[in-house]
């Protein structure tokens, strides 16, 4: 390598640490688009189910604010977790560990979007919804990312509250209130989160162990995790049917949620039954994949039957 | 003196320039969207006669 090439390499490394190297796509990746799409979807269901109407443009802007608030908390999460993201294979290609965006850029980006989304939601919808969005961001970034994630195996259980709040924020954006019905929507995602993440953690156990994150399989062991997955899946069955019991979903929804809940329980039982080897890995992966289908299916059904009822 | 050295050190490569241009365009779009949002919210919340008032 010539002296000129060496100088160029050093300069490139320096400019990476100085910043200004990220593309638009890198900044979009900071927002965790896949998580964001789930947030948009569940918040939309909360908005549609709320017993209040809003100007469609205001409703659309409110949804955008909720999505951006969720994305901003993702960026702040990546800013804080850059050290452990470097270690885990699943996360080492994220923009900060990959050297495309500096931590300070991610912090500024996340903080600006957090403040902006809360402020605009307050002005466009109401301050109950804005307060809930601010609480969601605070809970995810401070309570979950900075505190619980690295200190307790219950990190996913308590931190899951942040991921479960978007339908409550959506409901509040339309109605200005928090009600039992919106809390039932919260409970579905809240109860769903532990078995969903622990199924993945059983497969990616080594990653979390290397990064020193006290996920349930790392701390309590895989057997205890399997017991917990089964327990949460049993609880999830009636919780998933709650919208029917509370009278804002049809009997068809109740039956579908019951069947989906039973299938969830079946996959959880297989995880509980198969504890070693490739069969155990496949069972955990199957549960993880089905859990995605379960949550999307339930919320899609709620959305669908509400839209159909509105048309008829 | 220091600023002259800094300017030389931070000569952008073609890739960096392309990324910066992309970021600038994205920022412009975001700002334009924000203007449109505030305009729409003002008209919807306060009505089309918001500017039509006696001095």
Residues A90-145: pLDDT tens digits? Answer: 888 999 999 999 999 999 999 999 999 999 999 999 999 999 999 999 999 999 99
Interface test with B, best of A18, A21, A26 (most B CBs within 10 A): A21
Q: A15 to chain B: which residues are within 8 Å by CB? A: 10, 16
Residues of chain A with pLDDT under 70: 1-18
> If you ran DSSP here, which 8-state letter would residue A1 be given?
-
Q: What three-state secondary structure class fits A311? A: helix
| A171, A182 contact by CB (below 8 A) | yes
pLDDT of residue A14: 40
What percentage of chain A has pLDDT greater than the value 70?
Answer: 94
A23 reaches B (C-beta below 8 A): yes
Whole-number pLDDT of residue B9: 61
Share above pLDDT 90 across residues of chain B, in percent, rounded to a whole number:
42
User: What value, to the nearest 5°, has the Cα angle with vertex A139 and ends A135 and A143?
Assistant: 145
pLDDT (0 to 100) of residue A11: 39
Q: What's the pLDDT score for residue A18? A: 65
Contact of B10 with chain A, judged by CB distance below 8 Å, is answered with yes
**Chain B CB within 8 Å of residue A17 CB:** no
CB atoms within 10 A of CB A9: 11
- The residues in B 13-52 lying below 8 A from A, measured between CB atoms, are 13, 16, 19-20, 22-23, 25-26, 37, 40-41, 44-45
Q: How far, CA to CA in Å, does A144 sit from each of A78, A155, A266, A286, A292?
A: 13, 7, 30, 27, 21
pLDDT for A100 equals 92
CA A45 to centroid of chain Cα atoms:
16
Query: Which of B9, B20, B44 minimises the CB distance to A20?
Result: B20
Residues A16-40 pLDDT 10s:
456 778 899 999 999 999 989 989 9
Q: CB burial class (10 A; 0-12, 13-18, 19+) of residue B54?
A: exposed
The series of mean pLDDT values per 10 residues for chain B, 55 residues long, is 52 86 95 95 83 72
Q: Choose, out of B5, B17, B30, B37, the residue to mutate when testing the contact with A (most A CBs < 10 Å).
A: B37
Tell me which fold the domain A23-178 belongs to: Tetracycline Repressor; domain 2 (1.10.357)
* Interface contact A124, partner B, CB < 8 A: yes
Q: Where are the domains of chain A?
A: 23-178, 179-312
* Residue A299 pLDDT: 96
Average pLDDT score over chain A: 90
Among A45, A54, A68, smallest CA distance to A176 is for A54
Q: What is the ipTM of this complex?
A: 0.76
Of A12, A24, A58, the CB nearest to B26: A24
């Amino acid at each position: 390598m010539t002296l000129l090439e060496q100088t160029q390499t050093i300069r490139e490394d320096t400019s990476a640490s100085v910043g200004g190297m990220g593309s638009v796509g890198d900044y979009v990746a900071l927002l965790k688009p896949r998580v964001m799409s789930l947030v948009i979807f569940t918040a939309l269901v909360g908005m549609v189910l709320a017993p209040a109407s809003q100007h469609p443009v205001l409703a659309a802007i409110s949804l955008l604010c909720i999505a951006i608030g969720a994305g901003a908390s993702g960026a702040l999460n990546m800013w804080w977790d850059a050290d452990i993201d470097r270690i885990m294979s699943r996360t080492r290609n994220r923009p900060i560990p990959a050297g495309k965006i500096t931590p300070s850029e991610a912090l500024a980006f996340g903080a600006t979007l957090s403040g902006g989304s809360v402020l605009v939601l307050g002005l466009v919808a109401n301050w109950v919804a804005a307060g809930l969005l601010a609480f969601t961001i605070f809970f995810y970034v401070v309570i979950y990312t900075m505190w619980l994630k690295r200190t307790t195996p219950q990190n996913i259980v308590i931190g899951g509250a942040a991921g479960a709040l978007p339908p409550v924020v959506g409901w509040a954006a339309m109605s200005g209130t928090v009600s039992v019905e919106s809390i039932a929507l919260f409970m579905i995602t809240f109860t769903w989160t532990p078995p969903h993440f622990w199924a993945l953690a059983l497969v990616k156990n080594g990653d979390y162990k290397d990064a020193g994150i006290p996920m349930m399989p790392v701390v309590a062991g895989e057997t205890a995790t399997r017991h917990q997955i089964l327990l949460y899946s049993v609880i999830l069955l009636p919780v998933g049917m709650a919208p029917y019991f509370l009278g804002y979903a049809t009997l068809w929804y109740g039956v579908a949620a019951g069947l989906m809940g039973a299938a969830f329980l079946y996959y959880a039982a297989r995880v509980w039954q198969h504890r070693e080897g490739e069969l155990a890995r496949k069972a955990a992966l199957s549960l993880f994949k089905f859990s995605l289908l379960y949550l999307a299916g339930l919320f899609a059904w709620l959305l669908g039957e509400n839209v159909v009822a509105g048309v008829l | 003196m220091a600023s002259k050295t800094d300017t030389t050190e931070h000569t952008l490569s073609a890739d960096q320039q392309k990324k910066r241009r992309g970021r600038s365009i994205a920022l412009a779009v975001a700002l334009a969207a924000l203007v449109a949002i505030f305009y729409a919210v003002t008209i919807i919340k306060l009505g089309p006669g918001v500017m039509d008032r006696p001095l």
